[in-house]
A and B are shown apart, each in its own frame.
Chain A
Amino acid sequence: MELSGAEILIKSLEDEGVEYIFGYPGGAVLHIYDALFQQDAVKHILVRHEQGATHAADGYARATGLPGVVLVTSGPGATNAVTGIATAYMDSIPMVVISGQVPSAVIGSDAFQEVDMVGISRPCVKHNFLVKDVNLIAETIKKAFYVASTGRPGPVVVDIPKDITDPRIKVPYKYPKKVHIRSYNPAVSGHKGQIKKAVDLMLSAERPIIYSGGGVVLGEASKELTEFSQLLGYPVTNTLMGLGAYPATDKLFVGMLGMHGTYEANMSMHESDLIIAVGARFDDRVTGKLDQFCPYAKIIHIDIDPASISKTVKVDVPIVGEVKPVLEQMIELIKDSKKTPSKKALETWWKQIKDWQSIDCLSYDRESPQIKPQFVIEQLYEVTNGEAFVTSDVGQHQMWAAQYYRFDKPRRWINSGGLGTMGFGLPAAIGVKLAHPKADVACVTGEASIQMCIQELSTALQYKTPIKIVNLNNRYMGMVRQWQEFSYESRYSHSYLDTIPDFVKLAEAYGHVGMRIDKPEEVRPALEKAFAMKDRTVFLDIITDQTENVYPMIESGKAHHDMKLRVTATGTTTDRELA
């Protein structure tokens, strides 16, 4: 079969099993768009801005585990995609981004819409390719998918000059079944000796805690993590990226850890004598002050990426490998072992944890005449039976969603954890809805974040992806305002939005349903009404308490046990430190 470069590209995507491609046409990709037009195996989703394409593909990838695919043109098309590529890179999301490039003959001449995409994207991709020969397209696409989705996943950019996709030049096509890259051999199984050593440590620990992250979600190891944890009966905390990997409603779960983690999770980390880190990377938002991180603990670290091990925190038992098989081996060893965890020690440990839990660090004023954002998330949780896919943008609303929506399943919580990209939530929700058309999909956002990719409301209409946008509107960049309150004596420098659009009218202008909610008693009925409209995208503009802050908080440069807690009416839980 002889095909042009453009046809080969699209046929390769089809043979790779790609369902959707998120993109935006332009000069350098016109040949490719022409090839797209003449087939219907690969469905194209036309976004309204290339950043939206990458986030939508990212949302699709996070919800399914399959690589998200993006097609953009050269120059501004490519640079607009960079934020979304960096977002995927920081959270290890498999993604293949195809960018057009100016014709080979004019590369380097500052041609119209020319930018060195391979150079620009290099620091935020797992790998990238410039295709210089039409005969190499199929193989390069195969390699791109292979690299993006194996090992520690990540985005891969394939930059294709326009002449390589010329419809007049036809060459034989064959999509490789397998591809081998001699310099790329991701680790699979962990070192047996290390696993044995880790299990021995686990069984003799007195104050253990399992700290699990996004790697468990990416590695499809939720079931194994759950079995492993329940076998041991040890407390489990999830990172922001790991929420849902362990069921949040289970009694072993002590909540999220880190900067806005629960009191009990952070205190357990601080007082622990054994940290079992599973697919987590000791991010600065998790560790707080490094030299006071887990001062009494030995650390076991399971990670697929050797570079994640001992990067910021020195670990005692490193295990490089896929989380799933490593946990499976550990479960075997624990079951076969004559030794069991000390019942007495564990009882004392749990008693201590229960004591920390009794502080009820996530309590808030339920009697307030104003709408509390936490209340909205709790209502969202109830209305969707805890089963929704929830995307978020970045800021206070993101933390409240993470704290108050109790995710019991992996891949349900979809947020930009590493890069912290405002504008992520809406396009990501579109990607999620395409992947799971029957599921409830909510985008929890704020009036600042939503405006960063608001144009994608148009995409949501075109492709009939009925999502529910829960806009926690406090007129502030809430997280910025909170930091300014705590660290800059409430000098709210440019964090207040003097003008914001009428979101109800805006939603309607885009062809959707808009609702404005400003009383607590209206929240529940509005959410119920919105989710009952199965075929409509609904924008719920919810006017919330402007002064509300996210608690607990470990301020930057402080340690886990040094948390700022909410001051309640009785004034008992402010800045409480462990006795």
Chain B
Amino acid sequence: MRHIISILMENESGALSRVAGLFSARGYNIESLTVAPTEDPSLSRMTLVTRGSDQIIEQITKQLNKLIDVVKLIDLAESAHIERELMLVKVKTTEANREEIRSMTDIFRGRILDITPVTYVIEMTGPSEKLDAFIAAVDPESIIEVVRSGATGISRGEKGLHL
């Protein structure tokens, strides 16, 4: 099953490689990983998407908690949460497809950020599967490049991951 593990960790050099190293050393899979400092500059927030059986996910969270730099973590997938990912897509445009791409971008609530006579840059946010759906809908021949941030997320309700 897919899990979104959200980690609050010390904003120190090497902290990221401790997490990445743990995953490679123990053979866990990382689907995506995103990290940036929080409102408290001494803390970073990392969001990590992984897949595995319940037993593996339990080990992953325990092993992460064992890292000295990890302050706290939660598995967002365990309760109601909001997931967002940012995607930028550069597509080739022609007379024939320009209108179609524009309307599709509207349907997916994306925005066109840059236009040249032969390209669009489209910005889109949403749960990762929505972005997957957009990519699937666009003619693969017209895609020049795709940049995705990896999923990030936050829990719904009053509870939060903080010190």
Q: Is residue B71 contacting chain A, with contact meaning CB distance below 8 A?
A: yes
B13 partner residues in chain A, CB cutoff 8 A = 130
Would A183 and B70 be within 8 Å (CB), given that A123-B25, A130-B14 are in contact? yes
Q: Is residue A307 contacting chain B, with contact meaning CB distance below 8 A?
A: yes
B66 partner residues in chain A, CB cutoff 8 A = 305-307
Q: Are A181 and B68 in contact (CB under 8 A)?
A: yes
Q: Which residue of A lies closest to B13 (CB)?
A: A130
Residues on B close to A: CB < 8 A?
Answer: 9-10, 13-14, 17-18, 21, 25, 55, 58-59, 62-63, 65-66, 68-72, 163
Q: Are B68 and A310 in contact (CB under 8 A)?
A: no
Q: Are A126 and B63 in contact (CB under 8 A)?
A: no
A118 partner residues in chain B, CB cutoff 8 A = 14
Q: Which residue of B lies closest to A143 (CB)?
A: B68
The docked-state distance in angstroms from the alpha carbon of A35 to that of B147 is: 54
Q: Are B163 and A184 in contact (CB under 8 A)?
A: no
A335 partner residues in chain B, CB cutoff 8 A = none
Q: Which residue of A lies closest to B70 (CB)?
A: A183
Would A183 and B69 be within 8 Å (CB), given that A122-B21, A310-B58 are in contact? yes
The docked-state distance in angstroms from the alpha carbon of A309 to that of B61 is: 12
A306 partner residues in chain B, CB cutoff 8 A = 62, 65-66
Q: Is residue A85 contacting chain B, with contact meaning CB distance below 8 A?
A: no
Q: Is residue A127 contacting chain B, with contact meaning CB distance below 8 A?
A: yes
Closest Cβ of chain B to A314, distance in Å, is 8
Q: Is residue A529 contacting chain B, with contact meaning CB distance below 8 A?
A: no
What would 27 A/B residue contacts be, using CB atoms closer than 8 Å? A119-B17, A122-B17, A122-B18, A122-B21, A123-B21, A126-B68, A127-B68, A130-B13, A130-B14, A147-B68, A181-B68, A182-B71, A182-B163, A183-B10, A183-B68, A183-B69, A183-B70, A183-B72, A305-B66, A306-B62, A307-B59, A307-B63, A307-B66, A309-B62, A310-B55, A311-B59, A314-B55
Return the 3 tightest CB-CB contacts between A and B, nearest first.
A307-B62, A183-B71, A127-B68
The docked-state distance in angstroms from the alpha carbon of A306 to that of B72 is: 15
B62 partner residues in chain A, CB cutoff 8 A = 306-307, 309
The docked-state distance in angstroms from the alpha carbon of A130 to that of B72 is: 23
Closest Cβ of chain B to A179, distance in Å, is 12
Closest Cβ of chain B to A453, distance in Å, is 27
A130 partner residues in chain B, CB cutoff 8 A = 13-14
A147 partner residues in chain B, CB cutoff 8 A = 68
Q: Are B68 and A184 in contact (CB under 8 A)?
A: yes
Q: State which residues 100-123 of A face B: CB under 8 Å.
A: 118-119, 122-123
The docked-state distance in angstroms from the alpha carbon of A34 to that of B13 is: 30
A123 partner residues in chain B, CB cutoff 8 A = 21, 25
Q: Are A183 and B59 in contact (CB under 8 A)?
A: no
Interface range on chain A: under 10, 10 to 19, 20 to 34, or 35 or more? 10 to 19
The docked-state distance in angstroms from the alpha carbon of A181 to that of B59 is: 23
A305 partner residues in chain B, CB cutoff 8 A = 66
B163 partner residues in chain A, CB cutoff 8 A = 182
Per-position contact with B for A304-321: 1 when CB-CB < 8 Å, else 0? 011101110010000000
Closest Cβ of chain B to A261, distance in Å, is 26
B71 partner residues in chain A, CB cutoff 8 A = 182-183
Q: Which residue of A lies closest to B24 (CB)?
A: A123
Q: State which residues 468-527 of A face B: CB under 8 Å.
A: none
Closest Cβ of chain B to A338, distance in Å, is 36
The docked-state distance in angstroms from the alpha carbon of A529 to that of B18 is: 53
The docked-state distance in angstroms from the alpha carbon of A507 to that of B13 is: 48
Q: Which residue of B lies closest to A305 (CB)?
A: B66
Q: Which residue of A lies closest to B22 (CB)?
A: A123
Known: A130-B14, A183-B9. 16 other contacts (CB 8 A): A118-B14, A122-B14, A122-B17, A122-B21, A123-B21, A126-B68, A127-B68, A130-B13, A182-B163, A183-B10, A183-B68, A183-B71, A306-B66, A307-B59, A307-B62, A311-B59
The docked-state distance in angstroms from the alpha carbon of A220 to that of B69 is: 28
Q: Which residue of B lies closest to A122 (CB)?
A: B21
The docked-state distance in angstroms from the alpha carbon of A314 to that of B54 is: 12
Closest Cβ of chain B to A419, distance in Å, is 15
The docked-state distance in angstroms from the alpha carbon of A307 to that of B59 is: 6
The docked-state distance in angstroms from the alpha carbon of A178 to that of B59 is: 31
Per-position contact with B for A294-332: 1 when CB-CB < 8 Å, else 0? 000000000001110111001000000000000000000
The docked-state distance in angstroms from the alpha carbon of A306 to that of B58 is: 10
The docked-state distance in angstroms from the alpha carbon of A305 to that of B109 is: 47
B65 partner residues in chain A, CB cutoff 8 A = 306-307
A309 partner residues in chain B, CB cutoff 8 A = 62
The docked-state distance in angstroms from the alpha carbon of A122 to that of B71 is: 18
B9 partner residues in chain A, CB cutoff 8 A = 183
A181 partner residues in chain B, CB cutoff 8 A = 68
The docked-state distance in angstroms from the alpha carbon of A305 to that of B59 is: 12
The docked-state distance in angstroms from the alpha carbon of A310 to that of B59 is: 8
The docked-state distance in angstroms from the alpha carbon of A353 to that of B111 is: 75
The docked-state distance in angstroms from the alpha carbon of A181 to that of B25 is: 25
Closest Cβ of chain B to A459, distance in Å, is 33
Scoring A126, A306, A314 by chain B CB atoms within 10 A of each residue's CB, the highest score goes to: A306
The docked-state distance in angstroms from the alpha carbon of A311 to that of B26 is: 12
Per-position contact with B for A163-184: 1 when CB-CB < 8 Å, else 0? 0000000000000000001111
Closest Cβ of chain A to B25, distance in Å, is 5
B59 partner residues in chain A, CB cutoff 8 A = 307, 311
The docked-state distance in angstroms from the alpha carbon of A311 to that of B65 is: 14
The docked-state distance in angstroms from the alpha carbon of A181 to that of B69 is: 9
Q: Which residue of B lies closest to A123 (CB)?
A: B25
The docked-state distance in angstroms from the alpha carbon of A309 to that of B62 is: 9
The docked-state distance in angstroms from the alpha carbon of A126 to that of B68 is: 8
The docked-state distance in angstroms from the alpha carbon of A118 to that of B72 is: 23
Closest Cβ of chain B to A151, distance in Å, is 9
Per-position contact with B for A386-417: 1 when CB-CB < 8 Å, else 0? 00000000000000000000000000000000
Per-position contact with B for A427-450: 1 when CB-CB < 8 Å, else 0? 000000000000000000000000
A126 partner residues in chain B, CB cutoff 8 A = 68
The docked-state distance in angstroms from the alpha carbon of A135 to that of B59 is: 37
Closest Cβ of chain A to B65, distance in Å, is 7
